[in-house]
Chain A
Amino acid sequence: MTGAQGLMVLTLAAPLALLLACLWPAPRRRVPGLLWLAPLPGLLAALFAAGAPPLVMDGAGLRLTLALDAPSALLLGAAALLWSAAGAYAPAYLGRQAGLERFAVWWLVTLWGSLGVFLAGDLVTFYLTFAAVSLAAFGLIVQDGTPRARRAGEITLLLAVMGEVCLLLAFALLADAVPTSSLAIADAVAALPGSPARGLILGLLVAGFGLKAGLVPLHVWLPLAHPAAPMPASAVLSGAIVKAGIIGLLRFLPADGALEGWGDGLAALGLFTAFWAVGCGITQTNPKTVLAYSTVSQMGVTVAALGMGLALAVPGTAMAVAFYAMHHVLAKGALFLAVGLAGAVGGARRTGLLLLPALFLALGFGGLPGSGGALAKLAVKPQLDAGLVGALAALSAAGSTLLMLHFIRRLASLPPADATARPSWVPLLAWLGMAGAAVLGPWVLFGAIGPGDPWLGDSWEALAKDPVGLLWPVLLGAVLALLLGRWGGHLPTVPEGDLLVLAGRVGRGGAIIGAAVSHLEKRLRAWPTAGLALLVLVLALFGALLAGAG
């Protein structure tokens, strides 16, 4: 095992070690204070282990593979950074409440899965880590124990399990398609285009991963869950956890243009998601809900870029998409942390330490030149450049600006703490550090998406190339935001989770089926009925056996 591989193992081992410590009461009390440490090996792995040869642990036939390619490393690094910052923020935010240790356990399991999906190189490890990040997030969401949190958690869990079911089926079909007994993802992806169940597998993969990434109409859990969770959990939910869906799509969809039609379909779905979420988001009043819709919208853009990249077989798509998503990890995570500070910072500090940096980050989602977001937009420009798609992408940037300005307005209108309130320094540092990373990260790493020098690269040059193209969506968004501020009151309010209102009917239908089945089952349990069933079974088996023999 090389040092780089050691880092990969350590990334997975660190959260597990802390989890193990939770088994004993004395260390358990210390664990919440150490949450920020757990993701750091992941950060190191992202920095130093990218592109290292995969680590294959062939435990007597059960191949466990850990691998870290460049796109995964980008996302892993960003996610680890966010997890660490939010982990430092969490104990301070939650205070010494009774459920803190329980929260830490859920946190560590989710963290393990969240970082693990970026490292998993085989179907089993991927499924395992994906299940951990999907299901354990439930514990983070319901931490407050309110009915709202519980409902959000239940819906998340239900959808997560359905997503798991889709993926399980897809993975089973993939494993079947691989001619050897290998379970490596690379072999599975290679076998996918030749599989007779290609369409079904792709549909299941898109459903399973799209659900995690929040593609309409599978996004309904996101605007419920992210606001309901405690602030640090919301930050990692929106920033890091949804990326499990993105990395899934990146890993499992063959990038060589072998999927006719699927790329365009994904792109259309992504763009639709981007606009839908803006439309729903601008009617929300809770800043966290607005941010959650913004996440849905941004993931829509990400998937659209991926889809177009696949459809047009643009080289370097995976890296570009990962870059775009990386910016979202950092910036969205930072903004959630900011919302958590809004109540604790008063007076002029509020403007200087909170609102202004938040505004800069927020406008970055629209592509404000100079921001990290602008570089992210540039990164996926080759994918989202052509014709109608280009226009729609630009319009969606305007929509993002609108939505984010709406967010800033809602953030500013949160009841301010008294003017003298000073935030404690750990949360403040976490927020400012993440904000800084969201700006600097893309600048520093922009070169990585091109063929040239991975560090710094030609970011400045790229920004200077087409300032107007970047600027007009921001301006358009700002104008729309002004209009919204003036007449927004007339908009109908979309309930959190918009399409979820339709689910009530499905639920009622399910209850009717359940009652009918229960009734039938009760009838079958009467002795004479069961006796008849036994006789029928003998005769039916006899008949079937005779038919088989004949």
Chain B
Amino acid sequence: MTATTPAGWLLVVALVLPVAGMLLAFVLGGRAAERLALLLLGLGVGVGVAVSAAVLRMGAPIVYLPGGWAPPLGLALVADGVAAAMLLTTALVLFAVALFGRAAHATPPDQAETRAALAYWCFLLALAGSLAAAFLGGDLFNLFVALEMLTFAALSLACLEGKPSQFRSELRYLLFALIGSVLYLLGTALLYGGYGTLDFRLLAGRTRADLPTLLAAALMTAGLAAKMALFPLHLWLPPAHAGAPPAASALLSGLVVKAAFVLLLRVWIWVLPPLPAMAAAPLLAALGAAAILVGSLVALRQARLKLLVAYSTVAQIGYLFLMLPLVLSGAAETASHAWLGGLLQAGSHAFAKAAMFLAAGLIATALGHDRVTALGGAGQAVPRAVFAFGLAGLSLMGIPPSGGFTAKWLLLTSALGDGQWWWAAVILGGGLLTGGYVYRVLAGTIAAPPGDAPRPRPLPHGPQNVALGLALISVALGLLPLASFGLVQIGRPGALGALP
């Protein structure tokens, strides 16, 4: 358990490649930063595949001990199934967004370097490195540092355009996220005081249900929930995600909130003793349910396309919390289904929401505005973007075949199988509301443009294809047989092994 495993060096590569790349890109600047970022993010996909393949081949988590220091003295890098799957998802989305942003964030030929371009490419790499650190970290304090890196990188991407409205919403995001981080850090202090280690795999099974441990878990959970914008802590998300440039929104909504989600799983599935976790999980799931219903309802009533998509994120994050009571209190089979369902939701939402934000950005660019009531003509101007929006919408609604459907189906059947039918009702109601807001957008884009509106500007196919590609991946996740997701079960406490 506490030794570097074969293929463990891959984890170092996954971490060092983007981080060193960011440092170099910063020094080189200008167009070199762009070329370096594209190269390394492309390589990142290969590394993601390699890590997943290695985990799958070993059938067990792969571990690397930097410096050879074993926990509790040192800290470990661990890629279990969750980490590997999220790493791969991240690599794909990041590379796609990098390609998407090539045109918008190219350094103009008459300048050696511009602010926005340099920041974009450097912080893409920074985001890749931070996410790798957040997924692979085995030590809860190291994960705190990773979370902070992530916040900085995400924030900078969000502020890229330097619009007046951005600073206010992003500062709100920063301040709230910082409270979340500090609460998380406070939890780690208590845990260290209780057990003398912060390695989550060492903590697993060793924790007691005593006052410090439980308070630590409560603090860490609340902190992570604030970073994930779990309802009603979502105040920062809609303006921050809607105000950012499309590429940044795609990453913020698709990936950044998922890092906190993985940490949440580390706390709840690994660290917390099962009995209290079982008792408190319904509370979180209830907030998740509220997020689904309120987020979807509010999305339905938004006047601006990007805010609509941002509220959809608030709602979709809710689904992630529904898995907790099912994984914790269910029978072994229910737990494994719910686990897969939750992670599949995280993955398919990453692809679908990234596609949706990119598509929304393209629609807004083509029309010159993003008022939901005046989207007419977008269908002709950017047909592929509209198609991508629709496909991503299907996945979010949970219409088959799509990753979203499989995810929601798994959550649904495990909820019913475990007699917790109320979650099933929420899943279905959320799907219905999602259908409502997706339809509002699609129907608007297909309609003819209003007579007095300026002609929508047709856009090049390249960025549209990127959005479409991401949407297709989120759909394709639903076409894979369930057994091929055996990866995500690897390393989960209480896992039965692969699905039947």
Q: Do chains A and B touch in the complex (CB under 8 A)?
A: yes
Interchain CB contact under 8 A, A169 and B214: no
Chain B residues within 8 Å of A169, by CB? 412, 416, 424, 428
* CB interface residues, A 520-550, toward B, < 8 Å: 520-521, 524-527, 529-531, 533-534, 537-542, 544-549
User: Is A157 on the interface with B (CB-CB < 8 A)?
Assistant: yes
User: Is B399 on the interface with A (CB-CB < 8 A)?
Assistant: yes
User: Is A128 on the interface with B (CB-CB < 8 A)?
Assistant: yes
Q: For A544, give its contact among B179, B279, B435 (CB under 8 Å).
A: B279
Chain B residues within 8 Å of A521, by CB? 294, 298
Given contacts A61-B482, A541-B280, A544-B283, contact A165 B209 (CB under 8 A): no
Interchain CB contact under 8 A, A517 and B283: no
User: Is A514 on the interface with B (CB-CB < 8 A)?
Assistant: yes
Chain A residues within 8 Å of B454, by CB? none
CB distance from A387 to the nearest CB of B (A): 40
Chain A residues within 8 Å of B284, by CB? 541
Complex CA–CA separation, A161 to B398 (angstroms)? 11
Residue on A with the closest CB to B272? A545
User: Is B439 on the interface with A (CB-CB < 8 A)?
Assistant: yes
CB distance from A187 to the nearest CB of B (A): 15
Complex CA–CA separation, A544 to B172 (angstroms)? 29
Residue on A with the closest CB to B186? A538
Chain A residues within 8 Å of B219, by CB? 538
User: Is B154 on the interface with A (CB-CB < 8 A)?
Assistant: no
Complex CA–CA separation, A162 to B278 (angstroms)? 33
Chain A residues within 8 Å of B222, by CB? 534, 537-538, 541
List the interface of chain A (C-beta within 8 A of B). Answer: 59-62, 124, 127-128, 131, 135, 145, 150, 154, 157, 161-162, 164-165, 168-169, 172-173, 175-176, 181, 197, 513-515, 517-518, 520-521, 524-527, 529-531, 533-534, 537-542, 544-549
Complex CA–CA separation, A61 to B406 (angstroms)? 14
CB-CB nearest 5 A-B residue pairs: A548-B279, A549-B209, A544-B280, A548-B276, A62-B481
Known A197-B416, A538-B218, A549-B210; 8 more pairs at CB < 8 Å: A150-B443, A168-B428, A172-B413, A525-B235, A534-B179, A538-B219, A541-B222, A546-B214
Complex CA–CA separation, A181 to B336 (angstroms)? 13
Chain B residues within 8 Å of A162, by CB? 432
User: Is B251 on the interface with A (CB-CB < 8 A)?
Assistant: no
CB distance from A182 to the nearest CB of B (A): 10
Interchain CB contact under 8 A, B432 and A62: no
User: Is B431 on the interface with A (CB-CB < 8 A)?
Assistant: yes
A to B CB contacts below 8 Å, 24 in the list: A127-B400, A128-B401, A150-B443, A161-B435, A164-B399, A169-B416, A175-B413, A514-B300, A517-B294, A530-B176, A534-B233, A537-B233, A538-B219, A538-B222, A541-B222, A541-B284, A544-B279, A545-B214, A545-B218, A545-B272, A545-B276, A548-B277, A548-B278, A549-B210
Complex CA–CA separation, A537 to B283 (angstroms)? 9
CB distance from B88 to the nearest CB of A (A): 19
Residue of B238, B416, B484 most packed against chain A (CB within 10 A)? B416
B415-448 near A? 1/0 per residue, CB < 8 Å: 0110000001000100110010001000100001
Interchain CB contact under 8 A, B275 and A541: no
Interchain CB contact under 8 A, A549 and B276: yes
Q: For A61, give its contact among B179, B413, B431, B499 (CB under 8 Å).
A: B499
Interchain CB contact under 8 A, A545 and B217: yes
Residue on A with the closest CB to B431? A165
Complex CA–CA separation, A180 to B351 (angstroms)? 32
Given contacts A124-B400, A541-B221, contact A61 B233 (CB under 8 A): no
Given contacts A537-B222, A538-B218, contact A517 B276 (CB under 8 A): no
Q: For B297, give its contact among A172, A518, A525, A545 (CB under 8 Å).
A: A518
Interchain CB contact under 8 A, B416 and A542: no
Chain A residues within 8 Å of B233, by CB? 530, 533-534, 537
CB distance from B218 to the nearest CB of A (A): 4
Chain A residues within 8 Å of B398, by CB? 168
Interchain CB contact under 8 A, A173 and B416: yes
CB distance from A522 to the nearest CB of B (A): 9
Interchain CB contact under 8 A, B400 and A128: yes
Interchain CB contact under 8 A, A172 and B273: no
Chain B residues within 8 Å of A145, by CB? 448
Residue on A with the closest CB to B230? A537
User: Is B164 on the interface with A (CB-CB < 8 A)?
Assistant: no
Complex CA–CA separation, A173 to B413 (angstroms)? 7
Chain B residues within 8 Å of A59, by CB? 481
Complex CA–CA separation, A169 to B500 (angstroms)? 22
Interchain CB contact under 8 A, A540 and B283: yes
Interchain CB contact under 8 A, A131 and B280: no
Residue on B with the closest CB to A127? B400
Interchain CB contact under 8 A, A517 and B232: no
Complex CA–CA separation, A550 to B278 (angstroms)? 12
Chain A residues within 8 Å of B179, by CB? 531, 534
Residue on B with the closest CB to A527? B235
User: Is B183 on the interface with A (CB-CB < 8 A)?
Assistant: yes
Chain A residues within 8 Å of B431, by CB? 161, 165, 168
Q: For B484, give its contact among A60, A135, A164, A541 (CB under 8 Å).
A: A60
Complex CA–CA separation, A525 to B307 (angstroms)? 14
Residue on A with the closest CB to B231? A524
Chain A residues within 8 Å of B294, by CB? 517, 520-521
Q: For B439, give its contact among A157, A514, A525 (CB under 8 Å).
A: A157
Chain A residues within 8 Å of B214, by CB? 542, 545-546, 549
CB distance from B136 to the nearest CB of A (A): 27
User: Is B115 on the interface with A (CB-CB < 8 A)?
Assistant: no
Complex CA–CA separation, A415 to B294 (angstroms)? 52
Chain A residues within 8 Å of B439, by CB? 154, 157
Complex CA–CA separation, A173 to B499 (angstroms)? 20
User: Is B409 on the interface with A (CB-CB < 8 A)?
Assistant: yes
Complex CA–CA separation, A188 to B460 (angstroms)? 49
Residue on B with the closest CB to A123? B409
Interchain CB contact under 8 A, B280 and A545: yes
Chain A residues within 8 Å of B400, by CB? 124, 127-128, 131
CB distance from A228 to the nearest CB of B (A): 15
Given contacts A162-B432, A527-B235, contact A172 B412 (CB under 8 A): yes
B211-231 near A? 1/0 per residue, CB < 8 Å: 100110111011001100001
Interchain CB contact under 8 A, A176 and B297: no
Residue on A with the closest CB to B217? A545
CB distance from A41 to the nearest CB of B (A): 22
Given contacts A62-B482, A128-B401, A545-B279, contact A181 B176 (CB under 8 A): no
Interchain CB contact under 8 A, B276 and A546: yes
* CB interface residues, B 452-500, toward A, < 8 Å: 481-484, 499-500
Chain A residues within 8 Å of B226, by CB? 534
CB distance from A185 to the nearest CB of B (A): 16
Residue of B179, B222, B413 most packed against chain A (CB within 10 A)? B222
Residue on B with the closest CB to A538? B222
Given contacts A59-B481, A131-B400, A544-B280, contact A530 B209 (CB under 8 A): no
Q: For B500, give its contact among A61, A128, A161, A525 (CB under 8 Å).
A: A61
CB distance from B396 to the nearest CB of A (A): 13
Chain B residues within 8 Å of A526, by CB? 235
User: Is B163 on the interface with A (CB-CB < 8 A)?
Assistant: no
Residue on B with the closest CB to A515? B301
Interchain CB contact under 8 A, A518 and B298: yes
Q: For B235, give its contact among A150, A161, A172, A530 (CB under 8 Å).
A: A530
CB distance from A121 to the nearest CB of B (A): 16
CB distance from B484 to the nearest CB of A (A): 7
Interchain CB contact under 8 A, A549 and B275: yes
Residue on B with the closest CB to A542? B218
Complex CA–CA separation, A154 to B439 (angstroms)? 9
